[in-house]
Amino acid sequence: MVNFGRIPTGGVQLKLSKMQETKRQKQVGQLVQEELSDIFMRMGFNVTEGGMISISSVKMTPDLLEARVYLSMFQIKSPEEMLEKINERMGEIRGALGNRVAKQLRRVPYINFFLDDTLDHVFKMEELFKKINEDKDKK
């Protein structure tokens, strides 16, 4: 992990060895995730090209100005191309988010989308476990 040493917080020095999300970061992340999920549904991104897109998690930076949004894509032929399509409509997405969170947040966070490959790892692990079990059965 990254060691940020001493970080000033309102005149008080805190020593942090690991960056942990604060309660406010988690609250704002959850709010952004809920609103973006609804925005994706209204824009037609949640079910597209015979697959599904869901927002698996949202991580906020400590200053709450950037949201790292992790997208899980199920049965999407080209996840990278889909990510590009979503990024092309970033202005529209961020504008819709701004309209929804204007009362709760002072500033609309800048959004960065990332592919969440957790499902891929789960499927690979399941295949490995099946092979291990088949090898045990053969012996």
> In CATH, which superfamily holds the domain spanning 5-138?
K homology (KH) domain (3.30.300.20)
Please report the pLDDT score of residue 3 as a whole number. 45
Residues 71, 54: contact at Cβ < 8 Å? yes
Residue ranges of the chain with pLDDT lower than 70?
1-19, 119-120
Please report the pLDDT score of residue 124 as a whole number. 80
As a whole number of angstroms, the distance between CA 71 and CA 117 comes to 9
- Angle, helices 90-101 vs 79-88, to 10°: value is 60
73-103 residue pLDDT tens: 888 888 888 889 889 999 999 999 999 998 8
Please report the pLDDT score of residue 7 as a whole number. 43
As a whole number of angstroms, the distance between CA 15 and CA 6 comes to 5
As a whole number of angstroms, the distance between CA 55 and CA 69 comes to 7
CA 82 to chain centre: 15
Where are the chain's structural domains? Answer: 5-138
Q: Is the dihedral of CA 35, 41, 44, 49 positive or negative?
A: positive
pTM to 2 decimal places:
0.70
